[in-house]
Amino acid sequence: MNIVLKDVIILHPEQKLNEKTDILLEDGIIKKIGSLSENEIKNSEVYNLEGNYVTPGFFDMHVHLREPGREDKETVITGCNSAAAGGFTGIACMPNTDPTIDTAEVVTSIIIKSKNHLVDVHPIGAVSVGRKGESLAPIAELVEAGAVGFSDDGVAVKSASLLRNAIEYAGMYNAPIIEHCEDPSMDDGAMNESFTSTQLGLPGIPTAAEDLIVMRDILIAEYTGGRVHIAHISSKNSVDLVRQAKAKGIKVTAEVTPHHFLLNDESVKTFDTNYKMNPPLRSKEDVEAMIEGLKDGTIDCIASDHAPHTIEEKEMEFIYAPNGIIGLETQLGISLSELYHKGHLTLEDLVYKLSINPRKILNLEIPKFEIGKEANFSIFNPDTIWTVDVSKFKSKSRNSPFDKKLLTGKPTGVINKKRMFIDDKFINLA
Amino acid sequence: MGLTSRHLLGMQGVPAEDIQLILDTAKTFREVLERPIKKVPTLQGKTIVNLFFENSTRTRISFELAQKRLSADTVNFSTSTSSTKKGETFKDTVRNIEAMKVDMIIVRHESAGVPTFLTKISKANIINAGDGRHEHPTQALLDMYSIRERLGKLEGLKVCIVGDIAHSRVALSNIYGLKAMGAEVSVCGPATMIPRDIQKLGIRVYHDIDRVIAEHNVLNVLRIQLERKAGTSIPSVREYHKYFGITAERIEKYNNNIVILHPGPINRGVELTSEVADGPYQVILDQVTNGVAVRMAVLYLLGTMN
């Protein structure tokens, strides 16, 4: 099947591409980039995409798919549908599943389930058996089965010595250790510790709990020469620590979620549990530091920490409600509205943060605009104004604080693995 | 003139006129409590549920008496562990109770924010009887009533709340209420018991109890929960008593005009000595009596609004 993406702007900063053109795909393979003959157009399904950008497919390196174990919240397939609708062609899925991703069998089962989907799924293995922080998971075997990074997800690796070993062992396969940075002796809270938590009478989690582990991890990365990736960074001090470490040449990378660069802890004043997450929403100063970190490159990428929960679990007393929100279907719109349209980042910067950098961190191939290559593209219109409607989400869950939010910039479609998702449906291209 | 809100979720944002109205109404009910027949028909036909998800004998009995003296029909739902943990969600529990057609819900819960959450799932008037470490507005109202009864006013008084401020629901409600009424409010306790940035509420923070006694008209002394973190937030109860305990010697030395309040239950020998708890400076049992009158006032004002 031939399709034409007409009047698009192809944007690929690594290939130095930023130009208006047409793209011809034959069975999902890039056949031609440039102006097309009438014949080429006549024999193709033509998508008139004036105003749209086509970029290397977006990648979200922090997604909770909930399968195996909590398929009532999300499955591999519904999570992939949500990713496609959100403009992503690839995701990395985290190991806080039941059972956790600490055997090759679990890695394989997730990969098999996603095999026929447009979206690439790359599992993140557990650092330790059962994520218990005692003994190393079979990291080599997990890499062989397809794991691309390791994390004890939801908690920091329990001890400095185990972290050191994990960094060195996973380093043999150039797989990063992805850390949820939170000191377990200071994690007993329901929101950020601040004047707001004092006013609300909610137990607080200090930013120092995050900073302590970021510092520890940086020191161990420096000592071993290995790699560590800071998941969902949220505190100003942590951004400063990462900035200093990078300046020293230490191999540390960091991601931030849209909610941490957009919302602050005053949102919790409604006691709406869709503002309960871990790390918690921080202060205005911390939010500003996230934007600064994105601008100067301290923060490498944007990731959603997509965390589906059932309605009945989330509609609960604040201190009992589980942490987290879903983010796959709002991430691109929020990034465009808050970072691009507000002048903090260019579209090129966003392609780095949403596509190129996360793939580099996980050692994945970066999609290119090259004749003969299989297309792996995201298509979006940065100027489309739309209103978020959680009831229309492809995700199985609805726990988002962004319902009814007006956003500027919307995913139009994605193409990958010879499939296309556009106009709310999947199309086989070959 | 009535109240500006149909719920009492906390003292934050409650205007001085509303507080004044509640305290004045309570004064009338306080007189009813001195009569041989302590009952009025004001809330006849109203159904009130006391929804207590946390142990609280005193507050529940005080509310229940207030309801009975106003002739309301009352039902108690008490459970020490949340029903969530037994499988039914909090929302379902409330909806079930709501389906029985209730007019008012009095709620106590270990999670801050539950009364706010209730207003979203129930049509009843909601009264917060204590949510986590957040607020306990009727306690603050009865404290203010008791101070006003003893000293004749609130405006311009210097009131200090002493003890574990961080884990208290009484402290915040008192701070908001007293400030609205024009009092000068401060807190005193070990630094580990003072929540972050509380001075931003426009209050002073003290760690020297002698100075606090000397410089204030009223102390509201909070209970030190013996089971809570002794050894981590304070070295020992003994040390707490030595440096923060209110003793007759301290009062006599620094300020024998001071008025001592305590929301109960008292740990004698910890935050207060028996001499103080039973002595001439305290209004602790008046607080208990006034509590019934203040709760009658709140129930009456909210229950006759709609």
Q: What is the pLDDT of residues B170-192, one digit of tens each?
A: 999 999 999 999 999 999 999 99
Query: Mean pLDDT over residues B94-98, rounded?
Result: 88
| Residue in A with minimal Cα distance to B167 | A201
pLDDT of residue B88: 76
Residue B40 contacts A, CB cutoff 8 Å: no
ipTM: 0.91
- CB nearest to A195's CB, from B109, B116, B200: B200
Contact: B117, A193; criterion CB under 8 Å: no
Contact: A318, B84; criterion CB under 8 Å: no
Residues of A whose CB is below 8 A from B195: 197-198
pLDDT of residue B227: 67
Query: Mean pLDDT over residues A68-90, rounded?
Result: 98
Distance from CA of B194 to the nearest CA of A (A): 9
Residue B90 contacts A, CB cutoff 8 Å: yes
Residue B201 contacts A, CB cutoff 8 Å: yes
CB pairs under 8 A between A and B: 68
Residue B231 confidence (pLDDT) above 70: no
Residues 6+ apart with CB under 8 A from A357: A253, A300, A301
Angstrom distance (rounded) from CA B193 to CA B215: 21
pLDDT of residue B81: 54
| Residue in A with minimal Cα distance to B136 | A201
Residue A284 contacts B, CB cutoff 8 Å: no
Residue with tokens 């602050």: A264
pLDDT of residue B87: 66
Confidence of residue B32 (pLDDT cuts 50, 70, 90): very high
Residue B77 confidence (pLDDT) above 90: no
Angstrom distance (rounded) from CA B9 to CA B7: 6
Domain boundaries, chain B: 16-135+289-303, 137-287
Contact: B117, A318; criterion CB under 8 Å: yes
pLDDT of residue A409: 98
Residue A185 contacts B, CB cutoff 8 Å: no
Confidence of residue A396 (pLDDT cuts 50, 70, 90): very high
For B201, phi and psi rounded to 5 degrees?
-75, 0
The reply to whether B16-135+289-303 and B137-287 are identical in fold is yes
Contact: A202, B109; criterion CB under 8 Å: no
Residues of A whose CB is below 8 A from B112: 200-202, 271, 318-319
Q: Which of A258-267, B36-45, B85-94 has the highest mean pLDDT?
A: A258-267
Q: Considering only CA atoms, which of A379, A363, A365, A430 is closest in space to residue A174?
A: A363
Q: Considering only CA atoms, which of A188, A227, A232, A229 is closest in space to residue A209?
A: A188
Contact: B111, A319; criterion CB under 8 Å: yes
Residue A341 confidence (pLDDT) above 90: yes
pLDDT of residue A36: 92
pLDDT of residue A269: 97
pLDDT of residue B80: 64
Q: What is the pLDDT of residues A267-314, one digit of tens each?
A: 999 999 999 999 999 999 999 999 999 999 999 999 999 999 999 999
Residues of A whose CB is below 8 A from B133: 201-203
CB A420 within 8 A of CB A391: no
Contact: B201, A199; criterion CB under 8 Å: yes
Residue A424 contacts B, CB cutoff 8 Å: no
Percentage of chain A beyond pLDDT 90 is 99
| Residue in A with minimal Cα distance to B12 | A199
Confidence of residue B228 (pLDDT cuts 50, 70, 90): low
Q: Up-side HSE of residue B90: CA atoms within 13 Å toward CB?
A: 28
- CB nearest to B90's CB, from A201, A270, A317: A317
**Residue in A185, A191, A192, A199 to test binding to B, most B beta-carbons within 10 Å:** A199
Residue A35 confidence (pLDDT) above 80: yes
| Residue in B with minimal Cα distance to A203 | B133
Q: What is the pLDDT of residues B126-162, one digit of tens each?
A: 999 999 999 999 999 999 999 999 999 999 999 999 9
Contact: A316, B195; criterion CB under 8 Å: no
Residue B114 contacts A, CB cutoff 8 Å: yes
Is A305 designated active site?
A: yes
Contact: B196, A195; criterion CB under 8 Å: yes
Q: What is the pLDDT of residues A132-145, one digit of tens each?
A: 999 999 999 999 99
- CB nearest to B111's CB, from A193, A315, A320: A320
- CB nearest to B133's CB, from A194, A201, A317: A201
Query: Mean pLDDT over residues B251-272, rounded?
Result: 95
Confidence of residue B229 (pLDDT cuts 50, 70, 90): low
Residue B230 confidence (pLDDT) above 60: no
Task: State chain B's mean pLDDT as an integer.
Answer: 93
Binning chain B into helix, strand and coil, the percentages to the nearest 5 are 45, 15, 40
pLDDT of residue B2: 87
Residue B89 contacts A, CB cutoff 8 Å: yes
**Residue in A198, A266, A283, A311 to test binding to B, most B beta-carbons within 10 Å:** A198
CATH 3.20.20.70, domain B16-135+289-303, yes or no: no
Three-state secondary structure call for residue B100: coil
Contact: A195, B117; criterion CB under 8 Å: no
CATH code of the domain made up of B137-287: 3.40.50.1370
CATH code of the domain made up of A57-361: 3.20.20.140
Domain boundaries, chain A: 2-54+374-383+407-428, 57-361
Confidence of residue B89 (pLDDT cuts 50, 70, 90): confident
Residues of A whose CB is below 8 A from B122: none
Which of B:154-173 have CB within 8 Å of A? Answer: 169, 172
| 3-state helix/strand/coil string of B279-305 | CCCECHHHHHHHHHHHHHHHHHHHHCC
Q: Which CATH architecture has domain A2-54+374-383+407-428?
A: Roll (2.30)
- CB nearest to A317's CB, from B12, B114, B169: B114
The single residue of A102, A286, A300, A305 carrying the catalytic annotation is A305
pTM equals 0.94
Angstrom distance (rounded) from CA A299 to CA A69: 32
